[in-house]
């Protein structure tokens, strides 16, 4: 083990990630707000009505805590439905409120990264066909430009769209999230439109702001063959990988969207449309060839027997996967931000270990020359976890929903120690998660 533990670069960004609808409360007129109010849609019957109450001003308290915890970066998003409540009508008060939030961050020397679209659409857009419609690309480009004009004095690190593959799959292929479609053609159309919208927003932002750094948050998942020696399992895992990861990973580099059966589409605007790569990484699936699953490209997904899990229904905890995806991104030759990683862990018994092992994976990649510039842990405070409501807690800070009281968790204390020292030391590992000492200091 190195004498001073695992040391990170001095200019490393230590942050957390959030999204407007999940933390703000007082939701705007959007598809999610409408959907989550229907009984049965959100697992525990909660909604985002109150959440962390950022819109009511409680962001200040959370930013104080982030500052006190030694964080120097925060990823947050703006809510399109608040800013443009009706088509072409901007709300100056919404901009004023976001300006207050952003200057509150700057006062605390926390650099904001602002996401423009994080799963939630204004209701007027949905009426016009939402992300399936052709018009959405121009609407999004106009929205992005307006946000940069209004908020560009406080922000120059932009994330256009969060996880086009997850949004497409959950909302248009698997039917889990609004508008609950299960249609492969719509899935491809939505992913296509989101990537094209990203490319157009990328150029619009650069026209308006010379210092802008623009990327998107890519969710990458590991798909491994259940039986590594089986050519069929390997083939099926490869298909899942190209459908989910490849679909969104290559287009912003070479401008080609590769759909199955070689139905490729060229989008020239996409060539070279990222200044950095945002990586969201959570888990892996094991894949077996299954002749009965043509709709899933003959791949049956399951979990690695004996692996560690966070919560029922959530995936395996697999830190090595973060190292593997970082190595995979290396060939893009761009700086990388880990824009999300985290774990649902309601009693915070696993999060300290998760944090240590995943940061050790980042450190290993850094040691091999991968250009990782920062790490945004999901999330700062427990918040509204989409269809899981408040039944899956991701925060470093606990939230008492009834009183709004915040409590820094043990994992939050650990993250503070790491952010402040810029290192993972042997002493920290001993105190917080001695069981992973070997994994941290002798990876491989």
Instruction: Please confirm whether the linkage preceding 199 is cis (ω < 30° from 0).
Output: no
**Residue 19 makes contact with ligand FCB by CB under 6 A:** yes
* 257 close to 187: Cβ distance less than 8 angstroms: no
Burial class (CB in 10 A: 0-12, 13-18, 19+), 261: exposed
**Residue 385 makes contact with ligand FCB by CB under 6 A:** yes
**Residue 386 makes contact with ligand FCB by CB under 6 A:** yes
Q: Which residues, 6+ apart, have CB-to-CB distance to 205 below 8 Å?
A: 144, 145, 148, 158, 160, 212, 214
Q: Which residue lies nearer to ligand FCB by CB, 16 or 193?
A: 16
Please state, in angstroms and rounded to a whole number, the distance separating the CA atoms of residues 316 and 302. Answer: 10
Q: Which residue lies nearer to ligand FCB by CB, 337 or 394?
A: 394
Among 166, 200, 270, 336, interactor with ligand FCB by CB under 6 A: 166
**Chain residues 338-357 in contact with ligand FCB, contact rule CB under 6 A:** 340
Please state, in angstroms and rounded to a whole number, the distance separating the CA atoms of residues 20 and 76. Answer: 7
**Residue 36 makes contact with ligand FCB by CB under 6 A:** no
Please report how close the Cβ of residue 391 comes to ligand FCB at its closest, in angstroms.
Answer: 12
Could you tell me which of 138, 38, 16, 23 has the C-alpha nearest to residue 88?
Answer: 138
End-to-end CA distance of the chain: 13
**Residue 162 makes contact with ligand FCB by CB under 6 A:** yes
Q: Which residue lies nearer to ligand FCB by CB, 336 or 366?
A: 336
Q: Which residue lies nearer to ligand FCB by CB, 188 or 377?
A: 377
**Chain residues 186-225 in contact with ligand FCB, contact rule CB under 6 A:** 219
Please state, in angstroms and rounded to a whole number, the distance separating the CA atoms of residues 96 and 214. Answer: 23
Stretch that binds ligand FCB, among 1-9, 158-166, 226-234, 421-429 (CB under 6 A): 158-166
CA atoms 304, 308, 314, 320: torsion sign: negative
Please report how close the Cβ of residue 280 comes to ligand FCB at its closest, in angstroms.
Answer: 6
256 forms bridges with which residues in the sheet? 266
Please report how close the Cβ of residue 266 comes to ligand FCB at its closest, in angstroms.
Answer: 28
**Chain residues 354-383 in contact with ligand FCB, contact rule CB under 6 A:** 378
Please state, in angstroms and rounded to a whole number, the distance separating the CA atoms of residues 55 and 257. Answer: 38
Stretch that binds ligand FCB, among 92-100, 142-150, 160-168, 176-184 (CB under 6 A): 160-168
Q: Which residue lies nearer to ligand FCB by CB, 225 or 389?
A: 389
Among 394, 415, 416, 439, interactor with ligand FCB by CB under 6 A: 394
Please state, in angstroms and rounded to a whole number, the distance separating the CA atoms of residues 399 and 340. Answer: 20
Please report how close the Cβ of residue 378 comes to ligand FCB at its closest, in angstroms.
Answer: 5
Q: Which residues, 6+ apart, have CB-to-CB distance to 433 below 8 Å?
A: 352, 353, 356
Q: Which residue lies nearer to ligand FCB by CB, 173 or 424?
A: 173
Among 47, 163, 224, 241, interactor with ligand FCB by CB under 6 A: 163
Could you tell me which of 290, 170, 310, 149 has the C-alpha nearest to residue 225?
Answer: 290
Please report how close the Cβ of residue 342 comes to ligand FCB at its closest, in angstroms.
Answer: 6
Please state, in angstroms and rounded to a whole number, the distance separating the CA atoms of residues 24 and 383. Answer: 9
Among 280, 283, 285, 419, interactor with ligand FCB by CB under 6 A: 280
By CB under 6 A, name the binding residues for ligand FCB: 19, 162-163, 166, 219, 280, 340, 378, 385-386, 394
């Amino acid at each position: 083990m190195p004498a001073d533990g695992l040391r990170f670069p001095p200019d490393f960004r230590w942050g957390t990630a959030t999204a407007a609808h999940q933390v703000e409360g007082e939701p705007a007129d959007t598809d999610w707000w409408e959907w989550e109010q229907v009984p049965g849609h959100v697992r525990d019957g909660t909604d985002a009505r109150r959440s962390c109450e950022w819109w009511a001003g409680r962001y200040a308290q959370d930013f104080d805590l982030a500052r006190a915890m030694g964080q120097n970066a925060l990823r947050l998003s703006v809510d399109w439905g608040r800013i443009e409540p009706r088509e072409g009508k901007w709300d100056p008060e919404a901009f004023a409120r976001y300006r207050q939030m952003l200057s509150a961050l700057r006062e605390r020397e926390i650099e904001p990264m602002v996401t423009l679209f994080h799963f939630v659409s204004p209701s007027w857009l949905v009426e016009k066909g939402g992300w399936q419609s052709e018009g959405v690309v121009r609407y999004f480009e106009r929205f992005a430009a307006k946000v940069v004009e209004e908020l560009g004095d406080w922000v120059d690190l932009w994330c256009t769209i969060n996880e086009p593959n997850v949004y497409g799959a959950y909302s248009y292929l698997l039917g889990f999230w609004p508008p609950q479609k299960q249609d492969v053609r719509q899935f491809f159309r939505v992913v296509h439109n989101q990537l094209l919208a990203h490319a157009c927003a990328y150029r619009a932002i650069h026209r308006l702001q010379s210092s802008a750094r623009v990327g998107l948050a890519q969710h990458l998942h590991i798909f491994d063959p259940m039986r590594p020696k089986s050519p069929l399992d390997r083939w099926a895992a490869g298909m899942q990988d190209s459908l989910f990861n490849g679909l969104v990973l290559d287009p912003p580099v070479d401008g080609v969207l590769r759909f199955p059966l070689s139905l490729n589409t060229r989008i020239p605007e996409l060539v070279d449309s990222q200044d950095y790569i945002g990586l969201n990484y959570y888990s892996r699936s094991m894949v077996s060839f299954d002749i009965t699953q043509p709709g899933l490209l003959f791949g049956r997904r399951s979990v690695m027997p004996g692996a560690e899990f966070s919560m029922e229904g959530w995936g395996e905890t697999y830190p090595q996967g973060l190292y593997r995806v970082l190595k995979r991104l290396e060939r893009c030759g761009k700086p990388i931000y880990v824009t999300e990683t985290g774990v649902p862990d309601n009693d915070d018994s696993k999060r300290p270990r998760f944090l240590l092992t995943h940061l050790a994976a980042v450190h290993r990649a850094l040691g091999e020359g991968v250009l990782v510039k920062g790490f945004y842990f999901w999330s700062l405070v427990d918040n509204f976890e989409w269809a899981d409501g408040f039944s899956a807690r991701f925060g470093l800070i606990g939230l008492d929903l009834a009183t709004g009281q915040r409590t820094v968790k043990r994992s939050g204390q650990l993250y503070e120690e790491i952010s402040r020292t810029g290192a993972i030391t042997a002493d920290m590992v001993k105190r917080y998660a001695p069981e992973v000492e070997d994994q941290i200091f002798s990876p491989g």
